[in-house]
A and B are shown apart, each in its own frame.
Chain A
Amino acid sequence: MKKKLVSLVLVAACVFSMAACGSGQNSDGDTQDTTKSSEAEETDQEDAEDASEEGSGEGGTLIMATNAEFPPYEYHDGGEIVGIDAEIAQAIAEELGMTLEIEDMAFDSIITAVSSGKADMGLAGMTVDPDRQKNVNFSDTYATAAQVIIVKESSETAGPDDLVGKKIGVQLGTTGDIYAEDIEDAEIERYNKGMEAVQALQQDKIDAVVIDGEPAKVFVAENEGLKVLDEPLTEEEYAIAIAKDNDDLLEKVNSALAALKDSGKLDEIVAKYISADE
């Protein structure tokens, strides 16, 4: 019995010490910070507080969480993450006088990363949605988009009504996933990446893919024998996710967005990636 108690205490100690590490890293691990802590070996907590102050102030780093498999909004290009969201975030960071750092993760982890403070904001072609709003705040919207349906060229599916009872591929946690769930009798296959769903469609493993309009265009252009149906499933707007308790950043991001809209920079960025004639 005594042994059990001791081991329980040890386990608890392990868990708590790990938790301490976690919160230390949350607040931007600047190089400045590490030197400071080695200089004066003060308590960890004080250091962590210092770091978080630095992070939200001038000249700190702005950490953006995204899922960089979502062209043209964000994707890897030659070792770098580029795309509309990445450039908008870069422009916002410039407005705020901060350096941008992009963290690539699974789409369904982005909101968690933002709400737990592992990232400052989430830009990932993310639609404002009540469930999401319970956990994070959203900035003003910066782009409009639609959930569209991709099918094989030979497919007889002509519109959203034909999806009843079909096998539909989606990317886990996207609005496409949530809307597809409402389709009658449909079997939903949730892939980690949109590209994998498209691949499965090409291999006849599923009948259709529901995904955001712009990436759909890219996927169809890159894969032969696929087409996007003219009638979208839904229309929606993208916004930036920011932690609930970070009203300060939310305000700054909103004013930066407004400035970008006024100066025409926002349209410029979008036009760079999306050709207008489509």
Chain B
Amino acid sequence: MLQEKFYDNFIKDDRWKYIWEGLGVTLQVTFFAVLLGIIIGFLIAIIRSTYDKTGKMKLLNFFCNVYLTVIRGTPVVVQLMIIYFVIFGSVDISKVFVAIMAFGINSGAYVAEIFRSGIMSIDNGQFEAGRSLGFNYPQTMRYIIMPQAFKNVLPALGNEFIVLLKETSVSGYIALQDLTKGGDIIRSRTYDAFMPLLAVALIYLVMVMIFTKLVNILERRLRNSDH
């Protein structure tokens, strides 16, 4: 019975391909969205903490605040559909690209706050020390504040990327065939909830476990310089 179900769900009509190809899409979307998120988040964190520390870049800081409010105030599924059906409303555009944009822009808002909390957590004395050694503001940031801040925020950052990976499971809303949608397609063919959903859940779990391991290794490496 179980064997037959397994056959129906994964082997028959090459159904495992939905999951395999979906996994590829999920990884692709997550990878590029993480990159985009880091870039956006980093830039915004710099702008916001510069404003906090020096009072410069008032206008940019205002725009960043608007971005943070809007992105954090609306669900990512809605943002995804707005980008697909409204912003790129009349063009045939790659759905993977749309998903990367949506999840990257979304993640950027959270990463920005994570980075900013890291920067703000560094004692002001460090900053003053840098300046008194003759570093200007960008140099202090780059050589003194950032390396320490990054180490502090790594766990929170890893957490954000785990969330992002799992959040991509809503890509199905724009008919993108990611891992979850792959499982859904099998489910819609075999009407068996158990096997496809469990297989999909297991794959996400394994991905997150591998990723957590990698973050842990990185954390340990960075801690080596702590003595």
Chain A contact residues, CB within 8 Å of chain B: 107-109, 111-112, 115-116, 131-132, 134-136, 169, 172-173, 177-178, 189-192, 196-197, 199-200, 203-206
Asked whether, in the complex, the Cβ of A131 is within 8 Å of the Cβ of B190, the reply is yes
**Which of A107, A191, A197: most chain B Cβ within 10 A?**
A191
Q: What residues on B are CB-neighbors of A115 within 8 Å? A: 191
Shortest distance from the beta carbon of B45 to any chain A beta carbon, whole Å: 35
Asked whether, in the complex, the Cβ of A135 is within 8 Å of the Cβ of B184, the reply is no
Complex Cα gap A200–B175 (Å): 10
Asked whether, in the complex, the Cβ of B191 is within 8 Å of the Cβ of A190, the reply is no
Choice from A135, A169, A203 contacting B191 with Cβ under 8 Å: A135
A–B complex contacts, Cβ < 8 Å, 18 sampled? A112-B191, A131-B189, A131-B190, A132-B191, A134-B8, A134-B191, A135-B191, A135-B192, A172-B172, A172-B184, A177-B188, A189-B175, A190-B175, A196-B175, A203-B85, A203-B89, A203-B90, A203-B91
- If A112-B193, A203-B89 touch, whether A192 touches B188 (CB-CB below 8 Å) is no
Asked whether, in the complex, the Cβ of B90 is within 8 Å of the Cβ of A204, the reply is yes
**Interface size class of chain B, counting residues whose CB lies under 8 Å from the partner chain:** 20 to 34
Asked whether, in the complex, the Cβ of B189 is within 8 Å of the Cβ of A178, the reply is yes
Choice from A111, A112, A190 contacting B185 with Cβ under 8 Å: A190
Shortest distance from the beta carbon of A191 to any chain B beta carbon, whole Å: 5
Q: What 0/1 pattern do residues 110 to 139 of B give for CB contact below 8 A with A?
A: 000000000000000000000000000000
Q: What residues on B are CB-neighbors of A134 within 8 Å? A: 8, 190-191
Complex Cα gap A274–B191 (Å): 30
Q: B48 an interface residue at 8 Å Cβ cutoff? A: no
Q: Which residue of B lies closest to A107 (CB)?
A: B188
Complex Cα gap A48–B90 (Å): 53
Choice from A112, A178, A200, A204 contacting B187 with Cβ under 8 Å: A112
Q: B62 an interface residue at 8 Å Cβ cutoff? A: no
Complex Cα gap A91–B154 (Å): 61
Asked whether, in the complex, the Cβ of B90 is within 8 Å of the Cβ of A116, the reply is no
Asked whether, in the complex, the Cβ of B181 is within 8 Å of the Cβ of A205, the reply is no
Asked whether, in the complex, the Cβ of A136 is within 8 Å of the Cβ of B191, the reply is yes
Shortest distance from the beta carbon of A188 to any chain B beta carbon, whole Å: 9
Shortest distance from the beta carbon of A107 to any chain B beta carbon, whole Å: 8
- If A191-B175, A192-B173 touch, whether A116 touches B190 (CB-CB below 8 Å) is no
Complex Cα gap A112–B186 (Å): 12
Asked whether, in the complex, the Cβ of A199 is within 8 Å of the Cβ of B85, the reply is yes
Asked whether, in the complex, the Cβ of A169 is within 8 Å of the Cβ of B175, the reply is yes
Q: What residues on A are CB-neighbors of B187 within 8 Å? A: 108-109, 112, 173
Complex Cα gap A205–B187 (Å): 26
Complex Cα gap A206–B93 (Å): 10
Q: What residues on A are CB-neighbors of B185 within 8 Å? A: 172-173, 190
Q: What residues on A are CB-neighbors of B192 within 8 Å? A: 112, 135
Choice from A108, A192, A196, A204 contacting B92 with Cβ under 8 Å: A204
Q: B140 an interface residue at 8 Å Cβ cutoff? A: no
Q: B26 an interface residue at 8 Å Cβ cutoff? A: no
Q: What residues on A are CB-neighbors of B92 within 8 Å? A: 203-206
CB-contacts of B11-68 with A (<8 A): none
Q: B79 an interface residue at 8 Å Cβ cutoff? A: no
Asked whether, in the complex, the Cβ of A190 is within 8 Å of the Cβ of B181, the reply is yes
Complex Cα gap A108–B186 (Å): 10
Choice from A109, A173, A190 contacting B177 with Cβ under 8 Å: A190
Q: What residues on A are CB-neighbors of B91 within 8 Å? A: 203-205
Complex Cα gap A173–B187 (Å): 8
Asked whether, in the complex, the Cβ of B175 is within 8 Å of the Cβ of A108, the reply is no
CB-contacts of B178-203 with A (<8 A): 181, 184-185, 187-193
Given contacts A132-B191, A190-B175, A206-B92, 11 further A-B contacts (CB under 8 A): A108-B188, A112-B187, A112-B192, A112-B193, A116-B193, A172-B185, A172-B188, A190-B181, A196-B85, A203-B91, A204-B90
Q: What residues on B are CB-neighbors of A192 within 8 Å? A: 172-173, 175
Q: What residues on B are CB-neighbors of A197 within 8 Å? A: 175
Q: What residues on B are CB-neighbors of A200 within 8 Å? A: 175
Shortest distance from the beta carbon of B197 to any chain A beta carbon, whole Å: 9
Q: What residues on A are CB-neighbors of B173 within 8 Å? A: 192
Asked whether, in the complex, the Cβ of B191 is within 8 Å of the Cβ of A131, the reply is yes
Shortest distance from the beta carbon of B21 to any chain A beta carbon, whole Å: 13
Shortest distance from the beta carbon of A205 to any chain B beta carbon, whole Å: 5
Complex Cα gap A70–B126 (Å): 63
Complex Cα gap A200–B91 (Å): 10
